[in-house]
Structure 1
Amino acid sequence: MLLCRTLAHSPSIPLLRRSRPSRPLSPPLPCPPNFFFKPQSAAASLLLKPRSFPGIRCISSHGHGTIEQGEPETGAFEAGGDDFGSLEEERPVVAAEAGEKLAEQGLWKQMTEIVKFAGPATGLWICGPLMSLIDTAVVGQGSSTELAALGPATVLSDSISYIFMFLSIATSNMVATSLARQDKNEVQHQISILLFVGLTCGFFMLLFTKFFGSWALTGFTGSKNVHLVPAANTYVQIRGLAWPFVLIGWVAQSASLGMKDSWGPLKALAVASAVNGIGDIILCIFMDYGIAGAAWATMVSQVIAAYMMITSLNEKGYNAYAVSVPSIDELMSIIGIAAPAFVTMMSKVAFFSLLTYVATSTGTITVAAHQVVVQLFFMGTVWGEPLCQTAQSFMPELIYGAKRSLEKAGTLLKSLLIIGVILGVILGSIGTVVLQFFPSTFTSDHSVIREVHKVLIPYFIALSVTPPTLSLEGTLLAGRDLKFISASMSGCFVLGSILLLLVSRKGFGLVGCWYALSGFQWARFLLALQRLISPNSILNSEDLSRYKLEKLKTA
């Protein structure tokens, strides 16, 4: 017989039984289950004769695929089966309605709702840079050499992790699309296979840092700064233990955000940041463990954050501990979204890595100053990432959902851009003030502080344009205009790299490096803006075939 299942339960527990269970199969829900037919009349009618329910889609006992029910077997349903349909059917409908309500609101109210979602969502991106910033502040008080070593160390521990942001992009995109279809079982399966991909990538990075970390750092720092490698390698080896937890945590976080829930990341941010801060104070200041103590504190806090994200996803009725090996077709589907996203993230990571490499080649004082500025820069940019996530969570329903509306999608993008511009100016101003008047928070070396003060103008120019850029790029990702965004980012990387090498060869130092970064950021903004306002953009064209979008099934 066919068994209707809900993901709020273990896959081995059927919802329709031949005998009434002695206790409820699931905890009470905040709203009543969405029955396919009236429960008070269903049991009586089933006692009289078998009936067919052509509208019911059931999950086969083999696992995932859906089977349209035709004529049921005699005796397939008997009295006493009081659980009908999916107990979690309500949740995908609520998620879809949230996007529709947001799109129908006025501009000011829409901006307010975006802030309510994007504010807590900041926890997804702010956690890592905040931990690195805390490490920078604590380590910089003790040793300028260890502070300089944090530069190449954080490239391997933090910057390189953005290569795997394709997992987050693929997860939120696929989850949001499945919720637009109101297919909860598909969401669970996608989460399971993406968790497997994340776990596999995490163990790969753990082994890479274990066996090749020192080699990578030696090649990165160059012959002039070989003395930084031992301290940097200590940091990298300790942080490397958390790689599997970091990546499965990203999948769980992105799934929650794809469901338009941003409170899980906020809780993770609060707890993980507190653990990291307390750990840094105890291990670095009181116990004098230096860069190693900072690494241990950050690693433990990342593990805690991942656990909280998994717990948050489980509370929504999904099983975040279920890991499935993807089939070839499923893997190719993931690659179809992840490959362009990977190229995009790789271009960003490669450019920032090259930026640090050029700064490192100029000496210990310069790279120490660059470490202070770039960590504060990353701390600022992550506040714009929730705008990108908002676009990925709410745009799919408006661009290619069951109730498609390009006009509402354009209004939503306008709101995101306004918020992005305001946020960019605020972040740039705050960061500039901190670097100008409070650099001693990060280092007590006056030579380093003098270098920091030289880059205030390009720092502001680069940071202020980042939030609106992320709003535009998030819309391109939501519309799956992946070829363009990967090609444009690759072009920005090539031109930016050439500019960086010219700056280095001409001896413009750290100031030249940061002006090159400003050009890189503005090029991203202008290219994305031009694409979205063009007649052929995903917001202006009725032809979805170019973006390989399947026609969504209505509920």
Structure 2
Amino acid sequence: MIGSPLRRVTAHDREILRLAVPAFGALVAEPLFLLSDSAIVGHLGTAQLGGLGVAGQALSTLVYLCVFLAYGTTAGVARQVGAGDLRAAVKQGVDGMWLALAIGAALILAGLPLVSWIVDAFGASPSVAPYAETYLRVSLFGIPSMLIVLAGTGVLRGLQDTRTPLYVAIGGFSLNLLLNIVFVLVLDWGIAGSAWGTVIAQTASAAVYVAVVLRAARRHGTSVRPDPAGLRTSATAGFGLLVRTAALRVVLIVGTSVAARMGDAEIAAYQVGFQVWSLLAFALDSIAIAGQAITGRYLGAADVAGTRAVTRRMVGWGVVCGVVLGLGILAVRPWLPGLFTSDGDVRHLLLVSLIVVAVLQPVAGVVFVLDGILIGAGDGGYLAATTLVATVVFLPAALLLYWADAGLVGLWLAIGLWMAARMLTLGLRARGDRWLVTGAVR
């Protein structure tokens, strides 16, 4: 890049913000779906809120095991963009969307008979389990749409477009909120109404992505028919990310299971605290999304120096944003629990948990940004291995603190140890050169 160091820094900042700011709005839509559901369902009772927590965690596990549909597609499409082949970029995205549809259909068929077993595996109490089963059984029908949204989002991010996903996310969140109010509070459908509202909103969002990608395919003369070779490439390219995501979900599943076994108040407080954590995580991940798109494009264009420079800037942005978000949570902490529940025990547990959540945000800023950068570089193998290592650190810590009766704070401290292990391994990788592989295909 030509110009003085100051100009280079300014250009990188503009590029990061151009992608990260719209990505922020799109990313926070998913936790806002569940936060709005939590606010509405929480007024039905503690058992219903706990049921939403268990079902939401199970549903998120099923969907985000397939997050490679978004992340892998972003990295692959961005590399093709950097290499100057837009037709190949769109085709890779189309194959990813077909793969999303196939996986979604398979998950419905496999998941419906296992709903009761899944809820039981999370340790839901007899009072919570019926609500969790109801929400999960309905929500399974929205999984194909959710996966198409992931793949479609990856296509557009790889094409350096984060504005369209923002517009779709705003529309989807607004529709979800409206339908939840009508179905739950007006029509009195209970927790099932909340699930149906989310399914309908996700389906509408998926339809928009299909229309946008079809238009891009026509513009670049790309076939939209499923290509077996392309489907295999999309599936195999995401294997490392699948392992990485599975390891992440193990941590989240164990966290929910441990909280559920502590009691109904604990799982209800953990549900809300985890959704706040998710909201902050997706906010920080907006910089990581910029990292995926920018890193893939720079490496596709064989610009190693530019990749290094923008990596340093994005890590800096992650730290600053983490500090700001942590202070923000501390500022609203006294009033936040009242938005979700009137149960005194739940509110007390949530007040204490939010302190740990706030303190962890600067660490989370570094972790999410470096994770996104290495995803953009296609370094899935390293991410898979080191995420497994961090998970091995978390599991005994969580169990020991549970047996020591450290309560919900102990569980959040174990999550903090997990994040510290991830920051160490990701930081060591970023300092080296092995992830800096250039060209249209890694």
Q: How does the TM-score come out when normalised to structure 1? A: 0.75
Matches within 5 A, 1:283-302: 283-302=183-202
Deviation at 1:332, TM superposition (A): 5.0
AA aligned opposite 1:269: A
Q: Corresponding residue for 2:255?
A: 355
Instruction: Name the CA distance, whole Å, in 2 between partners of 1:286 and 1:197.
Output: 38
Instruction: Name the CA distance, whole Å, in 2 between partners of 1:429 and 1:342.
Output: 33
Deviation at 1:271, TM superposition (A): 0.7
1:458 aligns with 2:386: no
Deviation at 1:505, TM superposition (A): 1.2
Q: Corresponding residue for 1:277?
A: 177
Q: Corresponding residue for 1:205?
A: 107
Q: Assess if the C-alpha contact under 8 Å between 1:166 and 1:341 holds in 2.
A: yes
**Greater alpha carbon shift after TM alignment, 334-343 vs 438-447:** 334-343
Gap runs ≥5 in structure 2: none
Q: Corresponding residue for 2:390?
A: 492
AA aligned opposite 1:538: W
Alpha-carbon displacement from aligned partner over 1:62-116 (angstroms, at most 9, x marks no partner): xxxxxxxxxxxxxxxxxxxxxxxxxxxxxxxxxxxxx999x99532342233122
1:382 aligns with 2:282: yes
Instruction: Name the CA distance, whole Å, in 2 between partners of 1:384 and 1:179.
Output: 25
Deviation at 1:335, TM superposition (A): 4.1
Instruction: Name the CA distance, whole Å, in 1 between partners of 2:236 and 2:104.
Output: 21
Q: Assess if the C-alpha contact under 8 Å between 2:26 and 2:170 holds in 1.
A: no
Instruction: Name the CA distance, whole Å, in 1 between partners of 2:223 and 2:254.
Output: 38
Q: SS at the partner of 1:267?
A: helix
Matches within 5 A, 1:311-322: 311-318=211-218, 322=224
Matches within 5 A, 1:121-140: 121-140=23-42
Alpha-carbon displacement from aligned partner over 1:14-66 (angstroms, at most 9, x marks no partner): xxxxxxxxxxxxxxxxxxxxxxxxxxxxxxxxxxxxxxxxxxxxxxxxxxxxx
Instruction: Name the CA distance, whole Å, in 2 between partners of 1:551 and 1:258.
Output: 13
- Whichever of the two has the greater Rg, that structure is 1
**Over aligned residues, Cα RMSD in angstroms?**
2.4
Alpha-carbon displacement from aligned partner over 1:282-338 (angstroms, at most 9, x marks no partner): 2222222221111111111111111222223334344899340423xx455334421
Instruction: Name the CA distance, whole Å, in 2 between partners of 1:253 and 1:124.
Output: 9
Q: 1:551 to 1:130 in 2, by over 3 A?
A: closer
Q: 1:332 to 1:286 in 2, by over 3 A?
A: closer
Q: SS at the partner of 1:226?
A: coil
Aligned residue pair count: 439
Gap runs ≥5 in structure 1: 1-98
Instruction: Name the CA distance, whole Å, in 2 between partners of 1:100 and 1:359.
Output: 54
1:414 aligns with 2:341: no
Matches within 5 A, 1:402-441: 402=301, 404-441=302-339
Instruction: Name the CA distance, whole Å, in 1 between partners of 2:176 and 2:16.
Output: 29
Q: 1:239 to 1:219 in 2, by over 3 A?
A: same
Q: SS at the partner of 1:437?
A: coil
**Greater alpha carbon shift after TM alignment, 206-215 vs 343-352:** 206-215
Q: SS at the partner of 1:306?
A: helix
Q: 1:160 to 1:427 in 2, by over 3 A?
A: farther
Structure (1/2) with the larger helix percentage: 2
Deviation at 1:552, TM superposition (A): 6.9
AA aligned opposite 1:394: I
Matches within 5 A, 1:221-236: 221=123, 225-236=125-136
Instruction: Name the CA distance, whole Å, in 1 between partners of 2:225 and 2:362.
Output: 40
1:533 aligns with 2:435: no
1:143 aligns with 2:40: no
Q: Corresponding residue for 2:244?
A: 344
1:190 aligns with 2:88: no
Q: Corresponding residue for 1:114?
A: 16
Q: Corresponding residue for 1:261?
A: 161
**Greater alpha carbon shift after TM alignment, 161-170 vs 303-312:** 303-312
Instruction: Name the CA distance, whole Å, in 2 between partners of 1:132 and 1:396.
Output: 31
Q: 1:476 to 1:377 in 2, by over 3 A?
A: same
Instruction: Name the CA distance, whole Å, in 2 between partners of 1:346 and 1:478.
Output: 19
Instruction: Name the CA distance, whole Å, in 2 between partners of 1:434 and 1:301.
Output: 29
Instruction: Name the CA distance, whole Å, in 1 between partners of 2:327 and 2:55.
Output: 28
Q: Corresponding residue for 2:152?
A: 252
AA aligned opposite 2:388: S
* Aligned counterpart in structure 2 of residue 164 of structure 1, from 38, 49, 66: 66
Q: SS at the partner of 1:454?
A: helix
Q: Assess if the C-alpha contact under 8 Å between 1:432 and 1:459 holds in 2.
A: no
Deviation at 1:488, TM superposition (A): 0.6
Instruction: Name the CA distance, whole Å, in 2 between partners of 1:116 and 1:550.
Output: 24
Q: 1:434 to 1:208 in 2, by over 3 A?
A: farther
Q: SS at the partner of 1:289?
A: coil
Instruction: Name the CA distance, whole Å, in 2 between partners of 1:153 and 1:412.
Output: 39
Q: Corresponding residue for 2:297?
A: 397
Instruction: Name the CA distance, whole Å, in 2 between partners of 1:100 and 1:478.
Output: 24
Q: 1:256 to 1:318 in 2, by over 3 A?
A: farther
Instruction: Name the CA distance, whole Å, in 1 between partners of 2:286 and 2:428.
Output: 22
AA aligned opposite 1:452: L
Instruction: Name the CA distance, whole Å, in 2 between partners of 1:272 and 1:505.
Output: 42
Q: How does the TM-score come out when normalised to structure 2? A: 0.93
Instruction: Name the CA distance, whole Å, in 1 between partners of 2:199 and 2:328.
Output: 28
Instruction: Name the CA distance, whole Å, in 2 between partners of 1:123 and 1:306.
Output: 17
Instruction: Name the CA distance, whole Å, in 1 between partners of 2:2 and 2:264.
Output: 53
Instruction: Name the CA distance, whole Å, in 1 between partners of 2:188 and 2:325.
Output: 33
Q: Corresponding residue for 2:121?
A: 219
